[in-house]
Amino acid sequence: MIGNNKEARRYSVVFICVVLLILSFTISLGLGRAFTLGDIWTHVSGVLRGDQGTNSAYISIVLLKIRIPRILAAICVGMSLATAGASYQGLFQNPMVSPDILGASAGAGLGAAIAILMGAGAIGVQLLSFACGIMAVGLTYAVSLSVGGKQKTVLMLVLSGMVTGSLMTACVSITKYLADTDDKLPAITFWLMGSLASVTQNDSMLLFLLFLAGGIPLFCLRWKLNVLSCGEEEAQSMGINTRRMQVAVIACSTMLSAASVSIAGMIGWVGLAVPHIARMLVGSNYKSLLPVSALIGGIFLLIADDMARCLTTAEIPLGILTSLCGAPFFLYLLLRTNKLWSA
Binding site for another protein (CB under 8 A): 1-3, 6, 89-90, 93-95, 151, 220-224, 226-227, 229-230, 233-234, 236-241, 279, 283-285, 287, 341-343
**Shortest distance, position 283 Cβ to another protein, whole Å:** 7
Distance CA 242, CA 153 (A): 10
Based on CB atoms, which residue is closest to another protein, 7 or 183? 7
Distance CA 42, CA 54 (A): 11
Give me the helix-helix angle, 153-178 and 184-193, nearest 10°. Answer: 150
Distance CA 41, CA 47 (A): 10
- Nearest residue to 283 (alpha-carbon basis) of 292, 273, 295: 292
**Shortest distance, position 239 Cβ to another protein, whole Å:** 3
- Nearest residue to 179 (alpha-carbon basis) of 192, 188, 171: 188
**Shortest distance, position 223 Cβ to another protein, whole Å:** 4
**Shortest distance, position 207 Cβ to another protein, whole Å:** 24
Q: What is the largest CA-CA distance in the chain?
A: 70
Distances (CA, A) of 337 to 163, 314, 331: 36, 36, 10
**Shortest distance, position 218 Cβ to another protein, whole Å:** 11
Based on CB atoms, which residue is closest to another protein, 133 or 283? 283
**Shortest distance, position 148 Cβ to another protein, whole Å:** 13
Per-residue HEC secondary structure of 35-47 comes to: CCHHHHHHHHHHH
Check the CA dihedral 99-100-101-103 and report its sign. Answer: positive
**Shortest distance, position 40 Cβ to another protein, whole Å:** 40
Based on CB atoms, which residue is closest to another protein, 34 or 240? 240
Based on CB atoms, which residue is closest to another protein, 13 or 117? 13
Based on CB atoms, which residue is closest to another protein, 50 or 239? 239
Based on CB atoms, which residue is closest to another protein, 22 or 238? 238
DSSP string, 134-172: HHHHHHHHHHHHHHHTTS-HHHHHHHHHHHHHHHHHHHH
Based on CB atoms, which residue is closest to another protein, 130 or 286? 286
